[in-house]
Amino acid sequence: MAEINRAVKGTCDILPDDSYKWQEVEKFMLETSRLYGFKEIRVPVFEHTEVFNRSVGDTTDVVQKEMYTFDDKGGRSITLRPELTAGVVRSAIEKGLVNGALPLKVCYIGGCYRYEKPQAGRLREFHQFGVECFGAGEPAADAEVISLAKSVLNGLGVSKLSLEINSIGCPECRKKYHAALKEFFEAQKDNLCETCKDRLDRNPMRILDCKSPVCSEIANNAPVMIDFLCDDCANHFDGVKAHLNAMGIKYCVNPHIVRGLDYYTRTVFEFVSNSIGAQGTVCGGGRYDGLVSQMGGPAVPALGFGMGIERLMLVLESEGVTLPEPKTCDLFISVVGSAAAVKASELCAKLRAEGFCAQSEISGRGLKAQMRFANKIGAKFLVVLGDDELSTNKAVLKDMSNSETKEVDLDKLTEMLYEALKNSALGALEDSIL
């Protein structure tokens, strides 16, 4: 097949039969975020490469292996965003948002790009819903962000979920942990993959997140960060658990969670589904208190999460969750002749101005084919216009759900259709409408 007729590997079209599901999910995500005080932000799909090198971390797989990076026509290194947090932080600093009233709460929905092996729920172009909260350093903020993620997932109907939490400490308590990790992995150095051998000196915590089965097996027996927490980080983690307990949110402590990006500190968490196999993490996030200052802004605490929409859609499907059906055509006007087609355009314009979904024949098909098309698009009502209807200014309105018909005055079609839809049956219409 010619490349022009084939999508790029790792990308996926969202077709009309599925896009309404995405619209329902995205609408619910944004509305739930609003209840928690989060407002939508939209940032560019590409940034200067340094934005991601500094924030995501140059020892991560994302930076080393997965980013789509190129030089633009001005010779600047540009990268398609592999995640959204870094771009949101850049925007919050540049536009002075982190210098205003805090906490600043923002949410977003957008596409991300990573060059990795495509698989179910993991594409090279994928979409994320996420939130970021700046200027809130208390454990209550961690619990609130976790609660928001849970509200979205449960509100959409996802039930087979578990929440896993951990603390990966702060830069101070990580020093002892890094030393312990390095000592542990040094003894296994010959068995590590080449990437992890490089990580050993630069950032041994990244070995814990390696996808290599051999490295993962070795990492299972490594020391855990939770045993090296300083008093402040331990107290913070206890506070997060206390707030979750108070909110009735069940969780388990998984000391092996580290997340895949370098900017995380203290609390990290994942919502994991057991209904889609190995790729079960549908939401992951945590705290990143040093990122804003690292990128040139003020020293404000921050936290957030990202939720993969493709993976979420797989979970919804696997759990048999049904979403509201899309609205269909309210009225389809079949036409016979060019004069009728002109009148149909006039009527459709009036109906659309009143908020109705109205369609008329625009493909030059015969009457039977028009009827079949009206059925296929799920039209609720049907009108046929021809010479007789134009001369009398009346037509027969057909209820497609029960084949009931009623003669209507074309000048009162808008009023009549409103009543018909309101009552869901032509029999409920008052004769006075004619």
Say which CATH number the domain at 351 has.
Answer: 3.40.50.800
pLDDT exceeds cutoff 60 at 240: yes
Q: To the nearest whole percent, how much of the chain has pLDDT over 90?
A: 71
The reply to whether 119 and 155 lie within a common domain is yes
Are residues 352 and 253 both part of a single domain?
no
268 and 397: one domain?
no
Q: How many residues can be counted in the chain?
A: 434
Q: Is 340 left (phi over 0), alpha (psi -120 to 50) or beta?
A: alpha
What's the half-sphere exposure (Cβ side, CA atoms, 13 Å) at 357? Answer: 12
- Percent of the chain clearing pLDDT 70 (strictly above): 94
**pLDDT tens digits, residue range 287-302?**
999 999 999 999 999 9
Q: Are 207 and 181 in contact (CB under 8 A)?
A: yes
* Angle subtended at Cα 107 by Cα 278 and Cα 309, rounded to the nearest 5 degrees: 30
Has residue 47 been placed in a domain?
Answer: yes
Among 318, 350, 368, identify where a domain stops.
318
User: Across the strands, what pairs with 129?
Assistant: 109, 307
Rounded Cα gap, residues 220 and 223, in angstroms: 9
C-alpha to C-alpha distance for 315 and 276, rounded to whole angstroms: 6
> Is there a domain that residue 9 lies in?
yes
pLDDT per position as a tens digit, 89-143? 999 999 999 999 999 999 999 999 999 887 777 799 999 999 999 999 999 999 9
State whether 63 and 141 are in the same domain: yes
Distance between CA 57 and CA 74 in Å, rounded?
Answer: 25
- Does 244 lie in the same domain as 99? yes
Q: Would you say residue 418 lies in a domain?
A: yes
Strand duo 104-113 + 39-40: pairing: parallel
CA angle 274, 110, 249 (to 5 degrees): 40
In a domain, 97, yes or no: yes
Q: Which of 289, 318, 347 is the endpoint of a domain?
A: 318
Report the chain's terminal Cα–Cα distance, integer Å. Answer: 57
Contact predicate 180/223, CB 8 Å: yes
pLDDT tens-digit map of 332-367: 999 999 999 999 999 999 999 999 999 999 999 999
Q: Determine the average pLDDT of the residues in 307-331.
A: 92
258 shares its domain with 306: yes
Q: Does residue 160 register a pLDDT over 70?
A: yes
Same domain, residue pair 336 and 310: no
Residue 374 and residue 351: Cα distance in Å, rounded?
Answer: 17
Judgement on whether residues 52 and 164 belong to the same structural domain of the protein: yes
d(CA 297, CA 212): 36
Q: At residue 371, what is the residue type?
A: M
Verify that 416 and 288 share a domain, yes or no: no
Same domain, 98 and 16: yes
* CATH code (residue 295): 3.30.930.10
Domain endpoint, select from 284, 318, 352: 318
Q: How many helices (H) and strands (E) does the chain have?
A: 15, 16
Kindly state whether residues 366 and 389 are assigned to the same domain: yes
Query: Is residue 266 within 8 Å of residue 236, measured between CB atoms?
Result: yes
- Report the number of distinct structural domains present in the chain: 2
Residue 99 is assigned to a structural domain of this protein: yes
**Helix (H) / strand (E) containing 253:** strand 252-253
What pLDDT, in 10s, does the model give residues 388-433? 999 999 999 999 999 999 999 999 998 988 888 877 544 444 443 3
Residue 148 lies in a domain: yes
Distance of alpha carbon 178 from its chain centroid, rounded? 34
Can you tell me the distance from the alpha carbon of 146 to that of 267, in angstroms, rounded to the nearest whole number?
A: 10
Parent domain of 413: 331-423
**CA–CA separation, 225 and 218 (whole Å):** 16
- Please say if the pLDDT value at position 370 is more than 90: yes
Report yes or no on 79 lying in a domain.
Answer: yes
360 & 417 share domain? yes
Would you say residue 434 lies in a domain?
Answer: no
